Amino acid sequence: MEHSEVKAVDGVTFDVPKGKTLGIVGESGSGKSITSLSILRLIQKPGKVVGGEILFKGEDLLSKTEAQMRKIRGNEISMIFQEPMTSLNPVYTVGQQIGESFQIHEGLGKRKAIERSIEMLKLVGIPSPEKRVHQYPYELSGGMRQRVMIAMALACNPELLIADEPTTALDVTIQAQILELMKDLQDRLGMSIIMITHDLGVVAETCDYVAVMYCGKVVEYASINDLFKNPRHPYTVGLLKSLPRHDIDVDGEELSVIKGSVPSPADMPKGCRFAPRCPFASDICRERLPDLEEDENGNQIRCWIYSDEWDGDPEVNVYEERTS
């Protein structure tokens, strides 16, 4: 039986400036989490990275041995995973799990590692840390478990923190606390953050730059102000228009949706991957995949509408206010 190569992430390129936050947004299946796992080389077999570079401090992580990557993971690059209940080991105490980083990367003994773990629990705002450090994950609330995950990720003061849906399944009050905590720790520690989320509200509150992904590719990359004030890709516009609005009367108005669904990685459209769902798609969109082009402001767009080869309506206005 023949096996074909299916690319869950294809040619993704972005930079994360020091001390800044990059948001990666998109629907489920767009490749956000696979991108983050690729950075840490945690893709499980039969998946693998087949090409490209992952540059960190000028060195390609793809050229590192597994032993070298183990020194980088949790030390220079850390990650907060989606589900704290499944990411934390249920048979080890909170202190044992946080302290493991100190033991592996700093060579501390168990007693000293527990002391440092208590300090980390204090840092992330967990009350009674001397008690909590000896408790198991099931004894903590969802918000506390998420704070434990953050404490684990920040234990060795990483230069890059990858947060994969860090507020999933938390109520809005706890979400706000977690996001505020991450921003405060970033300001204090000077680390860079990759924030992976489908929530544009989280992006607006926390990010400096945004990469919008669709079907394994970046379709738009812009500063946070430019993306919200002047979104250019039809997919980005669709995401923004699907957000509830509090500044207009929407009584009787249906919430805007992006029709259709994300195609299977094994059956991608021939041209632009968003073309089957795009209200502006023309012949060239269905035939050829556009490149990711950079404008004079450093923003990037993957869309034929902004190309000299565009064969659709030359007066098309991608972004129309919902109030119009």
Would 3 be classed as within a structural domain?
Answer: no
What's the confidence (pLDDT) of residue 251? 53
Position 82 scores a pLDDT of 75
Residues 27, 102 share a domain: yes
State pTM to two decimals: 0.87
Check residue 62 and report its DSSP letter: G
Choose one of 211, 246, 268: the last residue of a domain. 211
Q: What is the pLDDT of residue 27?
A: 85
User: What's the pLDDT at 1?
Assistant: 41
The residues with which 162 forms a beta bridge, in sequence order, are: 79, 194
Could you give the CA distance from residue 213 to residue 272 in angstroms, rounded to a whole number?
13
- 109 and 152 both lie in a single domain: yes
Domain identity same for 123 and 81: yes
Residue-range definition of the domain harbouring residue 245: 215-306
The neighbouring-strand residues paired with 293 are 301
- Indicate whether 35 belongs to any domain: yes
The CATH number of whichever domain residue 42 belongs to comes to: 3.40.50.300
Total structural domains within the chain:
2
Task: Provide the residue-wise pLDDT of the chain in tens; the chain has 324 residues.
Answer: 455 677 878 888 889 999 999 999 988 888 888 898 899 998 887 788 888 899 999 999 999 999 999 989 988 999 988 776 678 999 999 999 999 989 988 899 999 999 999 999 988 889 999 999 999 999 998 888 988 988 888 888 889 999 988 877 677 887 888 888 888 889 888 899 999 988 888 899 899 999 999 999 999 999 999 999 999 999 999 998 887 765 555 555 567 788 888 888 888 888 999 999 999 999 999 999 999 999 888 899 999 999 999 988 888 888 764 434
Answer for the pair 49, 64: CB distance below 8 angstroms, yes or no: no
